[in-house]
């Protein structure tokens, strides 16, 4: 690492500890990602208990839980139910470089939030401030519009330029 480079931040939320599972320290995780399969390959994660400083922990195992879409995680050093239960509410963070690469045209929420949206004609609609999950497709929210995340509307996503170009359609205004 060069002298002026900063270590990569652990800033991508992927899950929250829901509580203990069983008596041997396994924790139930509520995934905060559309890609819960990322837990299967985790080796380490930053664990941030509420009102405490985060710490890097090693993951020794992960598996899908049949109930509620949760993931069961084994964290090295957490061997008893009481230890696991004490982690309830803790956030699990990853570095961006640890994320599974997505197929072309798919993006993580943190990549979309904050992008400046402009129409093909150049009208500014403001930054994306929220993502609404509708079941059929996501909807990106700006101060002026609700933008369906479909190929007929989204014309360009430029992550490096931090902007999105959309085709304006009737009914998108707020």
pLDDT per position as a tens digit, 109-130: 889 999 999 999 999 999 999 9
Give yes or no: residues 14 and 87 share one domain. yes
3-state secondary structure at position 121: coil
Asked, for residue 2, whether it belongs to a domain, the answer is: no
Residue-wise pLDDT tens digits, 7-50: 578 888 999 999 999 999 999 999 988 778 888 888 999 999 87
**Looking at residue 122, which CATH number applies to its domain?**
2.30.30.240
- pTM of full prediction above 0.95: no
Say if residue 67's pLDDT is above 70.
no
Q: Do 71 and 47 lie in a common domain?
A: yes
Domain boundary among 96, 124, 154: 96
Whether 88 and 66 map to the same domain: the answer is yes
3-class DSSP state of 53: coil
Q: How far apart are CA 162 and CA 169, in angstroms?
A: 22
| pLDDT for the residue 7 | 57
Among the three residues 96, 122, 149, which one is the final residue of a domain in this structure? 96
| Host H or E run for residue 14 | strand 10-21
Residue 104 in any domain: the answer is no
> What is the percent of the chain where pLDDT is above 70?
95
Q: How many domains does the chain have?
A: 2
50: exposed, middle or buried (Cβ count in 10 Å: 0-12, 13-18, 19+): exposed
Helices (H), 20-167: 81-86, 109-112
Q: Which domain holds residue 21?
A: 10-96
Is residue 97 within 8 Å of 11, Cβ to Cβ? no
The domain that holds 42 is classified in CATH as 2.40.30.60
Domain boundary (51, 75, 96) is at 96
* Cβ-based neighbour number of residue 49 at 10 Å: 15
CB 74 within 8 A of CB 26: yes
Flag whether pLDDT at 2 surpasses 80: no
Residue 102 lies in a domain: no
Q: Which long-range contacts (C-beta less than 8 Å, at least 24 apart) are formed by 148-154?
A: 148/172, 151/105
């Amino acid at each position: 690492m060069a002298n002026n480079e900063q270590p990569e931040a652990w800033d991508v939320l992927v899950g929250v500890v829901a509580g203990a599972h069983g008596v041997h320290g396994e924790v139930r995780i509520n995934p905060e990602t559309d890609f819960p399969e990322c837990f299967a390959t985790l080796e380490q994660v930053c664990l941030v208990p509420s009102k405490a400083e985060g710490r890097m922990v090693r993951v020794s195992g992960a598996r899908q839980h049949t109930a509620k879409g949760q993931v069961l995680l084994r964290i090295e050093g957490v061997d008893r139910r009481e230890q696991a239960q004490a982690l309830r509410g803790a956030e699990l963070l990853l570095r961006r470089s640890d994320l599974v690469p997505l197929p072309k045209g798919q993006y993580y929420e943190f990549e979309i939030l904050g992008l400046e949206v402009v129409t093909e004609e150049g009208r500014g609609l403001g930054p994306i401030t929220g993502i609404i999950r509708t079941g059929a497709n996501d909807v990106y929210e700006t101060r002026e519009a609700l933008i369906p995340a479909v190929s007929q509307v989204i014309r360009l996503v430029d992550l490096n330029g931090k902007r999105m170009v959309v085709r304006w359609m009737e009914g998108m205004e707020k």
